[in-house]
Amino acid sequence: MTWYFDSHIHLSDPVYSSDMQFILQEMKTIKLKSCCVSTNVYDSVKTLELAKQSDLILPFIGIHPEFSNDDLSNMVDLIDHNHKLLSGIGEIGLDPTYIQSDEDKKNQLRVFESMLEIAGKYDKPISIHSRKNLDEIFQIMTSYKSKKSLLHWFDGSKKQLQKAMDMGFFVSFGPVLVYANDKQTLLSKSDESQILVETDGPVRFSRCFERKSGQISFIPSVIFCASKILHKSFDEMVILLEKNSNAYLGK
């Protein structure tokens, strides 16, 4: 049996709460597993609760750079107490958008490195937020030899993409792949064994998605688009992505 994978979605976001039972049934029907990422301690607790409802929800918990002032010790305790249940650590990373002072920058770096250390401690895959900070993340990651690191929603240059490939990162592409030429070009230049797909819901998407929040039902469209770019059949693309997703998750 072949499975679809959404490598990065925030199912614990309130946007999805009223439809969660439908979403879980939909995941079961279309054979899809979701890496449900988190952004802070509160969000992570909700993710863990969701994962208890279905084994199709693969829980990732961690501190997003927007919340680098969150209680790091509480997050570390949460990971320590639940590491056997976790599929991964994330969403973690760096982002200057959320930095207002030198102290904010220090906190982001401290939290990111702490999350990397605990991911290494338990040999968990990581989902990395790298907006506007890819080069610094590359530099930091040379000290962390994880073979299961995802640069979600990859948005770098062709040169940075090659660096990511050389360092063994997975890169993921979302619904914008359907209509964004630059993302299509990046996909075409990616190593096929390092490609994943995602929705990053509840991010909203324009064009054919009519400004709707990312839904797991978007995944087949992303896969179809990827198959055309890489000159594969839809079924071949699904099989490749399942293999890559399992490699990322350490299965």
Per-residue confidence (pLDDT) for residue 70, from 0 to 100: 87
pLDDT of residue 210: 85
Number of separate domains in the chain: 1
pLDDT value at residue 103 = 93
Check: pTM over 0.85? Answer yes or no: yes
C-alpha dist (Å) from residue 109 to 43, 74, 103, 123, 170? 21, 17, 10, 20, 22
Distances (CA, A) of 54 to 49, 82, 221: 10, 16, 24
What tens-digit pLDDT sequence spans the chain (251 residues)? Answer: 899 999 999 999 999 999 999 999 999 999 999 999 999 999 999 999 999 999 999 999 999 999 999 899 999 999 999 999 999 999 999 999 999 999 999 999 999 999 999 999 999 999 999 999 999 999 999 988 667 999 999 999 999 999 999 999 999 999 999 999 999 999 999 999 999 999 999 999 988 888 889 999 999 999 999 999 999 999 999 999 999 999 999 98
Q: Note the pLDDT of residue 208.
A: 82
Return the bridge partners of 86, or none.
none
Which SS3 state, helix, strand or coil, does residue 243 take?
Answer: helix
- The CATH number given to whatever domain includes residue 98 is 3.20.20.140
pLDDT at 1: 80
**Strands 88-93, 126-129: parallel, antiparallel or unpaired by DSSP?**
parallel
**Contact 197/223 with Cβ under 8 angstroms?**
yes
Q: What is the pLDDT of residue 54?
A: 97
Instruction: Write down the pLDDT at residue 120.
Output: 94
Backbone φ and ψ of 217, nearest 5°: -70, -10
Instruction: Give pLDDT, residue 193.
Output: 98
> For residue 232, what are the domain limits?
4-249
Res 148: pLDDT: 94
